[in-house]
């Protein structure tokens, strides 16, 4: 069976590469470089029309739900060529309400749209260990499962359509807030005489341990490795969507709203396309510390 994959950038490319180990994959992306990278792994390139006409299963991994809508319903969108019975699996970190609306629109034409965002970073996608959160009815989940298992065995059925995006936004809200608190704590220690590496080791060994300190601060950030393939703009988008979801459902978002504003501050300082861990450079500037090394793996500004 031919599988389509639209959006093969940093994360989508890593996910599509896993699929290409077991399936014939047709890819489409605005970046010719990204498409060529997938071609080198055995995929073929195609237009949206060719993917819609030739694939019964199509994956999407795009920056926002607005991009998903454009790919599906734009002038050259997939919806013009999809055949009834096609399954669309959206791996974008998207807006649950928009996903449900698009699923309803496609359902009227006999096409299923489910959400299956991921968490675990590009490294987890490449290694086949990434967590996949699925929003779908049981029949849709059962149909998608064999394809998702090609990507990773860590698959969670979160409930109905949109629920995958709900729990992904909760996940990203908490992980992005952990990043900020981790920088704040390590810089507080550094400003008061504790070496950042020692501070991180102590925190990881104690009750302050979190995934960011353990997997990112010590192994990468303190060594100047800030290029993780995820931008400040995308982090802010995820927190903003989580805060909006809280407002819509009557959940207080004290920490979420603060995190959103701190990422906006970092965007104002560094730019939306800067790597997300450059927020640490903003903290350094505000605190008068030098936790982030002067020399990093980022290109000169």
Q: Which are the catalytic amino acids?
A: 168
Give the DSSP H or E segment for 281. Answer: helix 279-287
Give the DSSP H or E segment for 132. Answer: strand 131-135
Tell me the DSSP string of 45-90: E--HHHHHHH-SEEEE--SSHHHHHHHHHSTT-GGGTPPTT-EEEE
Q: How far apart are CA 243 and CA 260, in angstroms?
A: 8
Q: How far apart are CA 184 and CA 118, in angstroms?
A: 27
Helix/strand/coil for 24: strand
Is the four-CA dihedral 9, 11, 17, 23 of positive or negative sign?
A: negative
For 85, the token pair is 């019975």
List CB contacts of 173: < 8 A, sequence separation 6 or more: 238, 239, 242, 243, 256, 259
């Amino acid at each position: 069976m031919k599988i389509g994959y639209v959006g093969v950038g940093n994360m989508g490319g890593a996910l599509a590469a896993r699929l290409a180990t077991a399936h014939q994959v047709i890819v489409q992306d605005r970046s010719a470089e990204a498409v060529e990278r997938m071609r080198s792994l055995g995929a073929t390139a195609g237009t949206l029309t060719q993917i819609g006409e030739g694939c019964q299963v199509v994956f999407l991994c795009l920056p926002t739900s607005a991009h998903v809508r454009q790919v599906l319903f734009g002038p050259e969108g997939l919806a013009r060529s999809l055949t009834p019975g096609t399954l669309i699996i959206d791996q974008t970190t998207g807006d649950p309400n928009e996903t449900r609306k698009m699923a309803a629109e496609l359902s009227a034409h006999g096409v299923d749209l489910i959400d299956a965002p991921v968490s675990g970073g590009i490294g987890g996608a490449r290694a086949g260990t990434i967590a996949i959160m699925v929003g779908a009815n049981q029949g849709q989940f059962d149909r998608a499962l064999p394809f998702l298992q090609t990507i990773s065995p860590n698959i969670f059925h979160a409930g109905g359509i949109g629920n995958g995006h709900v729990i992904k936004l909760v996940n990203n809200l908490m992980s992005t807030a952990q990043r900020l608190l981790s920088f704040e704590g390590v810089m507080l220690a550094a400003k008061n005489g504790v070496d950042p590496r020692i501070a991180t080791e102590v925190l990881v060994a104690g009750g302050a341990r979190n995934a960011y300190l353990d997997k990112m601060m010590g192994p990468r950030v303190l060594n100047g490795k800030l290029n993780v393939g995820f931008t400040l703009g995308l982090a802010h988008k995820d927190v903003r969507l989580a805060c909006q979801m809280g407002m819509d459902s009557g959940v207080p978002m004290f920490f979420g709203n603060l995190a959103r504003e701190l990422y906006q501050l970092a965007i104002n300082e560094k730019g939306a396309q800067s790597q997300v861990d450059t927020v640490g450079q903003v903290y350094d500037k505000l605190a008068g510390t030098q936790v982030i090394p002067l020399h990093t793996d980022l290109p000169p500004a």
